Every structure is written in C-alpha cells, then in structure tokens.
A = this chain, B = another copy of it.
Amino acid sequence: MNAFGRVFRVHIFGESHGTSVGITIDGCPAGLPLAADDFTTDIERRKGGKQKGTTPRQEEDKPLFYSGVFNGKTTGAPLTILFENNNTRSGDYEKGRAIPRPGHADFVAHQKYGGFEDFRGGGHFSGRLTLCLVAAGVVAKKLLPAVGISATILEIGGEQDLEKGLQKAIDQKDSIGGIVQCVATGIPLGLGEPFFDSAESLLSHAVFAIPAVKGIEFGAGFAAARMFGADHNDAIQDATGRTVTNHAGGVVGGITNGNDLVFRIAIKPTSSTPKDQTSLNWETGQVETFSIKGRHDLCIALRVPPVLEAVTAVVLADLMLLDGHLPKVHNGDR
C-alpha cells in the first residue's frame, strides 16, 4: 500500500514524468488553516539546485489544493494536494532503458510490474515523490504547534565537516552518502504501544519510505550494543520522567517517555553516480559498461532533512490524534 497512518492517513501517488505527483490525507482535522505559503519553506529546503551537490533540475512545486480545503481551512474531508511536473526531459532516460541502473529500482520494478511500469525518470520510484512526503509533513507540523522537529546532516562521506565530505565526492567524481539526525521536542509521554506498534516500529516504518535510507538508530543506537547497562540506562530524575541522559532516544518499551525523540538515519550515496558502472544489458544479455547522464544529486543526503522531518511529523500527528492529544476539530486559527 502506498499509504501510512491509522487515523491521520497519508496516501501518495504520481510519477516523475507524469502530469503530477500528489497526496491525499484522510483524517486531517477540520479547521486547520492551510495556504500555499505554508509549504514554501520546506519545499524550498527540499529543492535541489541551490547548493553544491544537488541537481539543477528546477520545479516550481506549487501546491494545488484539489479537495479538502475551503475558505483557506481544512474541511475534515480528504485533503488532496497535487504538484505539477513541468520540468521533465524524458528523452534523457528512455535511451538507457535496456540497462537497469545499479542501485535503482529499474530491475525490480520491471520484474514486479511485468514491464508495465512507467520507467521515465524512475516513474513512481522517483525521489520526486518525496515532495509529497514533504507536503504531508507541512500539514502534520501545522497540527503539532507544540512539537519541534528538526533534522540536520551530521556527516557526509564520514566527515563531520560537510563541505569537506562533499568536496571528496566532487574530487572523486562520484556520489556520496551521509547521516542525518532528527530531534523532536515537546513529545507527550505515552505515544506508541508495546511490541508491534512501538513508536520505533512506526517511525522506522515511515522513515524507510524515504528512498536511499539504509539504516536507522534511536538514541545511542548501534553504540548501545557496545555499552554496559549501568552506562546506558537513563536515570529518571523527576515525576515528569525527565532523564539525566537520553541513550534511549526518547522511547522506552516502545513508548515515548517524554524526553526528546532522537534518531539518526544512514543515507546511501546517490545511485546515479557520474562514474562508469557495469550492469546487465537486457537486450544483449551481456554485462556492459555504461554511464548515467542527466541531472542528479551528488549527495542525496543533502535533500533529506525536510523529508525526514516530514515523515516524523506524520507519525507523530497520527499517534497524537490517536491518543487524544489533538482536537478532532482545529480551532481554525493559528
């Protein structure tokens, strides 16, 4: 299913080179003020072409409200937002179709969908769909005024000096990976369930919907595997549940404990590297050397922060609505 959430449910659809990409959100409370301007900041943050290492492809990315908004506020009915695809150059992609690009979904999509998939620019698998995630996040964030969600890049290519990491890739004429951290503050204690619907289960479920994510860790994460218990345990210091340390990353027993939610994700290097690669040519049946042309990000991690914030906001909005932390009808006012 291309949808997520139990009561605040986000559906995404569209293809990179179709007419548009979009979302429908079911379960958004009525009365939330929503205007195109609300989306500008996060959409701009997600865009490439603004910095070293991102694609020069430019889209206007203006949200078009197709349903669920009336007089500038949500109505409680399904909220549909579309983004037109104006800046497509399908010709770039079609000629290389015989060779499924390593790291991309070309091969699996072809097999899974019997060759009927829209292969232009990655089709439905395109990173362009993360625009939809960002849009859903804008709505979710507006529902959560008391929650702060902030994602930042920690490393590129293993360097905490991001410029240096990026320069390594430029020098190498290759793409490169990175690590992004997300911190959310103001989270109520008690979100999530033990076992299958733990806060970590739901967050990781949503986070792995972001293309190129290959790992997630909460709090101390993988470092916890090397720690002693007395060092890892977070001592509770008062009746609000505040802990001295936050090795748990804000989740204990699957349930948020009222401390900051902290997690990090690993982003693989952009699959479309400028370097020569080898792959099977379906037409010739031979493994061939080829190179990928077109506009691509050297380091896709650069564009991930607003997307990561967005899926985090979507999960939190769902859990907070489910637990009665948010009104079913918004007051209609900021």
A residues engaging B (CB < 8 A)?
1-4, 6-7, 9-15, 18-22, 24, 26-27, 30-31, 66-68, 70-71, 73-80, 82, 100, 102-105, 107-109, 111-114, 116-118, 120, 123-125, 129, 155, 157-158, 169, 172, 174-179, 189-190, 193-198, 200-202, 204-209, 211, 213-239, 241, 243, 247-249, 252-257, 266-273, 275-280, 282, 285, 287, 301, 322-324, 328-330, 332
Chain B residues lying within 8 Å of A13, measured Cβ to Cβ, are: 24, 66-68, 77-80
Which of B68, B79, B117, B179 contacts A225 (CB under 8 A)?
A: B179
Given A113-B75, A196-B205, A224 and B220 touching (CB < 8 A)?
Answer: no
Residue of B nearest to A27 (CB): B1
Of A26, A31, A215, A278, most B-chain CB atoms within 10 Å: A215
With A and B bound together, what is the CA distance between A256 and B107 in angstroms?
10
A-B complex: 9 closest residue pairs judged by Cβ atoms? A105-B253, A215-B217, A229-B273, A175-B229, A77-B124, A114-B329, A158-B226, A102-B233, A229-B269
With A and B bound together, what is the CA distance between A116 and B12 in angstroms?
25
Given A109-B255, A204-B205, A24 and B9 touching (CB < 8 A)?
Answer: no
Chain B residues lying within 8 Å of A195, measured Cβ to Cβ, are: 2, 12, 129, 209
Residue of B nearest to A331 (CB): B114
Min CB–CB distance A333 → chain B (angstroms)? 11
A194 & B77 in contact (Cβ 8 Å cutoff): yes
Min CB–CB distance A124 → chain B (angstroms)? 4
If A103-B234, A236-B279 are given as contacts, then 20 extra A-B residue pairs at C-beta distance below 8 Å, sorted by A number, are A1-B26, A2-B78, A6-B7, A11-B11, A13-B68, A13-B78, A15-B70, A70-B117, A76-B114, A112-B190, A200-B214, A201-B207, A222-B266, A224-B266, A225-B301, A229-B275, A230-B275, A232-B269, A239-B280, A324-B328
